[in-house]
C-alpha cells in the first residue's frame, strides 16, 4: 500500500516533508497554447496528454506518492459541443492506450468525480483500469473528471448519512472525510495551477484547506520536468505552520 499517514481533519498536524507526498494540479492553458500557434484549441488538449506522461514520470522519479490531475470540471460541459466531444474521445483513447503502461509501471489509477454523466465505454474503461491497477504501489494517479469540489462535499454528506443515519444532527470532520473523494490519500501538500489564472475553479475545496499553492504562467503543454522542479523548489522554501507560530516550529526543531 502507498505510504503516508492519512490526515482526515484540520485537527491533525501532518509531518513536515521536503518532497510533497501529494501534488494536485489544475492543468490549464491548453487552448491558449494552441491559439498562440494558430491551431484549434483542441490541438492544445492533445499536446497536454504528452505533458501528463512527462509529469507522471517525473513525479515517480522524485518519490511523490500521489498525483491528482484536474482533467474536466463539472463546469466544463458549458464549452462548445465539439470541444466537449473531442475531450471525451481524447480521454477514451488515452485510457485505452495508457492503462497497460500505467500498470506495467506499478501505477494505481483512480478517477474521481460524478462519472454517471459519461458514456458507458468511458465508464467501463475507468472501472476496468481501477480494477486492474488497484494493488499497484509506486504512484497513485487520480484523474478528476466531471469533478467539482462542492459536488464532492455534498456527495460525501449524502453517503455518510446513508451509512450513519444517526449522525444527521451531529457529525465531525473525521466522520465526513472517509466519504470524500481522495479519502485514501493524505491531503495535497502542493497545489499547482498552470496557465496564469490564480483561482481554484471548484477543484478540491475541502482537501486544499492547508495545501501550499503555486501558480505559474506556463501553459500546461509547456509545463515540463524543469517547471515541476521549480514548483517543488518553491514548496521546499515554505514554512507550513498549520496555525502555529514560526517560533513554535523553530523550538520544535
Residue numbers annotated as active site? 28, 76
User: Are β-strands 139-147 and 66-73 bridged in parallel, bridged antiparallel, or unpaired?
Assistant: parallel
The nearer residue to ligand IPE, 30 or 136, going by C-beta atoms, is 30
Least Cβ distance, residue 226 to ligand IPE (angstroms): 21
C-alpha cell at 148: 467539482
For 123, half-sphere exposure in the C-beta direction (CA atoms, 13 angstrom radius) is: 9
Radius of gyration (Cα) for the chain, nearest Å? 18
Among 27, 28, 69, 206, binds Mg ion (CB under 5 A): 28
Q: Which stretch binds ligand IPE (CB under 6 A): 27-35, 173-181, 183-191, 235-243?
A: 27-35
Q: Which of residues 207-226 bind Mg ion (CB under 5 A)?
A: none
Contact between 206 and 188 under an 8 Å Cβ cutoff? The reply is no
* Residue whose C-alpha cell is 491528482: 68
Contact between 191 and 214 under an 8 Å Cβ cutoff? The reply is yes
Least Cβ distance, residue 28 to Mg ion (angstroms): 4
47 contacts: CB under 8 Å, gap ≥ 6: 30, 33, 34, 221
Q: Which of residues 146-175 bind ligand IPE (CB under 6 A)?
A: none
Question: Site size for ligand IPE, by CB under 6 A?
Answer: 17
Binding site for ligand IPE (CB under 6 A): 26-32, 70-73, 76, 87, 195, 197, 199, 201
Binding site for Mg ion (CB under 5 A): 28
Amino acid at each position: 500500500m502507498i505510504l503516508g499517514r492519512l490526515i482526515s481533519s484540520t485537527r491533525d498536524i501532518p509531518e513536515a516533508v521536503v518532497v510533497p507526498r501529494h501534488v494536485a494540479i489544475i492543468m490549464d492553458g491548453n487552448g491558449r497554447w494552441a491559439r498562440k500557434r494558430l491551431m484549434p484549441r483542441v490541438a492544445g488538449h492533445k499536446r497536454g496528454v504528452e505533458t501528463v506522461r512527462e509529469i507522471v514520470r517525473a513525479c515517480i522519479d522524485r518519490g511523490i506518492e500521489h498525483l491528482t490531475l484536474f482533467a474536466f470540471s463539472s463546469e466544463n460541459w458549458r464549452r462548445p459541443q465539439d470541444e466537449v466531444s473531442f475531450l471525451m474521445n481524447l480521454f477514451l483513447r488515452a485510457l485505452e492506450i495508457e492503462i497497460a503502461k500505467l500498470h506495467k509501471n506499478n501505477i494505481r489509477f483512480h478517477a474521481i468525480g460524478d462519472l454517471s454523466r459519461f458514456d458507458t465505454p468511458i465508464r467501463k474503461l475507468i472501472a476496468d483500469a481501477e480494477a486492474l491497477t488497484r494493488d499497484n504501489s509506486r504512484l497513485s494517479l487520480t484523474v478528476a473528471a466531471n469533478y467539482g469540489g462542492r459536488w464532492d462535499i455534498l456527495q460525501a454528506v449524502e453517503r455518510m448519512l446513508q451509512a450513519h443515519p444517526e449522525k444527521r444532527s451531529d457529525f465531525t470532520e473525521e466522520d465526513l472525510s472517509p466519504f470524500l473523494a481522495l479519502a485514501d490519500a493524505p491531503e495535497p501538500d502542493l497545489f499547482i495551477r498552470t496557465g496564469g489564472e490564480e483561482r481554484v475553479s471548484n477543484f478540491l475545496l475541502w482537501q486544499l484547506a492547508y495545501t501550499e499553492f503555486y501558480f505559474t504562467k506556463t501553459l500546461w503543454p509547456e509545463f515540463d520536468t524543469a517547471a515541476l522542479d521549480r514548483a517543488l523548489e518553491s514548496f521546499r522554501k515554505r514554512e507550513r505552520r498549520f496555525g502555529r507560530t514560526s517560533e513554535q516550529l523553530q523550538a520544535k526543531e
